[in-house]
Amino acid sequence: MFGSSLMDRRSKPERVADQAWQHLISAVGSAGDSVRDVTRTARRSSSGLADDATDLVGSAADEARRRAGLAFDALAGRRPALPWTLLIAAALAGAAIGWAAGTAARAAGSRERSADEIEFVDVDRPNSPAGLDG
């Protein structure tokens, strides 16, 4: 009696989260059972196929465990960790692109200055053919 009235007093989100967690636990448990059954059957059928199936089933079980952990964290209200490797790689790529752009801008700036420094000289030619001198 006491336990049932205590369960009724919880808020609806808490009850929903508890039910979701119970469903998740049962799904992971049944997935583990079916994975074990598939592995046993594969081992009985052939040793070569069993090795391949074990690898496949093992990776599926690892993925199921990873997803169950993420689901548990989500139900508990924890945020996933930042992907530091990806962030560091993006920062390094940005730094390389910035360095290349800066180098190209400096090179383009030095080319413009050299074009401005060209001096044009007027030359008077005494017998120019088409009257270009005057």
Provide the pLDDT confidence category of residue 1 given band limits of 50, 70 and 90: very low
Nearest to 70 by CA among 62, 78, 58: 78
Instruction: State how many domains the chain has.
Output: 2
Q: pLDDT tens for residues 10-19?
A: 788 788 888 8
Would you say residue 132 lies in a domain? no
Q: pLDDT tens for residues 44-99?
A: 666 665 566 667 667 778 888 888 888 888 888 888 788 889 999 999 999 999 99
**95 plus 66 within the same structural domain:** no
**13 plus 45 within the same structural domain:** yes
Q: What is the pTM of this model?
A: 0.32
Contacts of 71 (CB under 8 A, 6+ apart): 24
Sign of CA dihedral 10, 14, 18, 23: positive
